[in-house]
Amino acid sequence: MRNRSRWKTSVILSGLVLVIAIGGLSAIATVNARSNPAGPKHQAKQLNPNNNPFCSKLGKSVQASQGAQMFCFPPQPTGFAPATVNSPSSGNPYAPNVNAANPQEDVTPSGVSIHGQSETSIAAAGQYVVEAWNDGTGFFAPCGSPQSKDQLTGYGFSTDGGKSFRDLGGLPNNSCDSSVIAGDPSVEAYTVGGSTYFYISSIFIPFFVPENGMSITACQVVGSGSTATLACSQPIVAAISSDCQSFYGFTFCSFLDKEFLSIDPARNRLYMTYTEFGPSTGFSGVVELAVCDLSNPASPTCHNGSTGSQAPPYLVIAPGDPNFCENEGAYPAVDTQTGDVYVAYEHDWFSGLFNCGGETTQNVMNYVPFSCLTLTATSPCGGPAASAAVNITSMEAAFIPGYNRFPMNDFPRLAVSGPAGTVSMVWNDARLKPSGDIFMQSFNLGSLTRVQSSPVRINNASGGGGWQFLPAVRNADSQGKLTVSFYSRATPNTALTDVYASAQIDPRLTANAKGKETKITTGSTDWNAVSSIIVPNFGDYTDNYFTGGVLFVAWSDGRLGIPQPFADPLVIHHG
């Protein structure tokens, strides 16, 4: 691959239609070299996914993201193209909504416009804001394309508090001939020593070793004011496969999926949760946690298990289910007062369609004390100190009009409220109406005893009987209140979609909310009328980030006729 040729294939994914690059981060390649003395030919044979038992189950008994779908299809070669320069975005006809991407950047070196930028995450620090998204341009742009647009995680940078963004293309990856940064991003922000940093996580796919990984890109704000720029690192491995087996001369390793970040600025820690689908657990999904030390914020040191191939993960939050019911959608939150970490995930997602083991679909909360979070290869603890589960009425069997993927998910999103002494999770739920509402369940910090005897609805039901789904919440305001954003429709039989926010929700609310909601979008999207190469066309999660009295909301918007990563800075007034 020294001639920098690029391997790709086009597939329909559970998260995207992906055209893939193939390669590997040197750290993972080094691990594989120790465990595979037969050399590159044997490594290439190992990577062939046609006989991988995980791939044979994908979409049947197991569901996963676009990265997993990408891994399970054989490559086809394409050529290399020289770099060119693209202009930044300009103008904002959607104010205060803003498109964080520039459609003029989403053009391959051969001149093809790509319709597919979706699945967004956002974080902010002062006037600086970063939004990241799955970028379909990476499906078709060859290795060495300008602005690293051959990578599948795109990102934009704002220096004016989210009023405008510069599309920076794809995350940098000098090893694009041997790896790809494969989307599903999460963004966190960190200010220390007068400098501001942003961390962007992604699925990371090496091409010539059996292990898969998760990566973090560390970006530092360089300069100041409107002329500031981002200087971003090469991908840093934060987690690698720990479960590998050999079948008929082929070695296959687990696939890591759906990572999200949370930060503890008081202790210089960055946490990542994800799900590992491995052969030893029947690909049922093991929920895991990794930790990164931010003592050197421009180059985090990540603790993701012992050094070497097939090393154990840093900390297992939930083992594989004995009935092989699927765990997925893990999400973390940090109590910055104590350093404790909370992790929630959905149990029996997708497998619940098949009455897996007679089990019930649940969202599960877990408590990990700070004493378990040492900066060592693995945690000294065997698992969380406490867990609590909430039965949900899942929307996974719903065919939502204009949403081009089945199944839907009910993954929880978390926020810790120090003033309220709670950790809360929100999700979409069909217990009151088939088209769903947004529900919240709060727990007392540490003990995980329930604050509410049963979950409470936090969207305003008087707003209509339509679909409410894919909520987001990240952190509480100074009063300990939560603001939850989500997709909303006025009636169940329309694809016209907006984003709303329910502001200043008391985590200790014990009755269904009746407060006002704020409409975030300045224009609706008819998702039946949007051209998209990605599946799902508007992602399977949204995001928001509260800081300095402003809620930064991120979502996939289709009012241009193609999916785009939009943002809005919403000032929260206390009252």
In which element (H, E) is residue 239 found?
Answer: strand 236-240
- In sequence order, what DSSP letters do the residues of 384-451 get, joined into one string? -SEEEEEE----TT---TT---SS-----EEEEETTTTEEEEEEEE-SS-TT-EEEEEEEETTT--BS
pLDDT given at position 120? 97
- What single string gives the DSSP state of each residue in 147-189? GGTTSSEEEEEESSTTS--EEEEEPP-TTTTTEEE----EEEE
For the cut 60, the answer to whether the pLDDT of residue 26 exceeds it is no
For the residues of 19-85, what is the DSSP string, one character each?
E------HHHHHHHHHH-TT-HHHHHHHH-GGG-HHHHHBTTTB---HHHHHHTS--EEE-------
Strand ranges (E), 267-372: 269-277, 286-293, 301-303, 315-318, 327-334, 341-347, 362-368
Q: Percentage of residues in the chain with pLDDT exceeding 90? A: 77
Residues 474-518 pLDDT 10s: 999 999 999 999 999 999 999 999 999 999 999 999 999 876 789
Mean pLDDT of 196-202: 98
Sign, CA torsion 29/33/35/38: positive
If one compares 327 and 309, the residue with the highest pLDDT of the two is: 327
Q: Which of 14-23, 207-216, 291-300, 536-545 has the lowest mean pLDDT?
A: 14-23
Measured CA to CA in angstroms, residue 199 lies from 6, 196, 388, 450 at distances of: 27, 10, 30, 33
Query: Which of these ranges, 7-16, 199-208, 444-453, 460-469, has the smallest mean pLDDT?
Result: 7-16
Q: Which fold has domain 6-86+93-412+529-571?
A: Neuraminidase (2.120.10)
Tokens of 144: 């060495």
pLDDT score at 309: 58
Statement: residue 60 has pLDDT above 80: no
| pTM of the complete model | 0.88
The pair of structure tokens assigned to 571 is 């000032």
Domain segments of the chain as ranges: 6-86+93-412+529-571
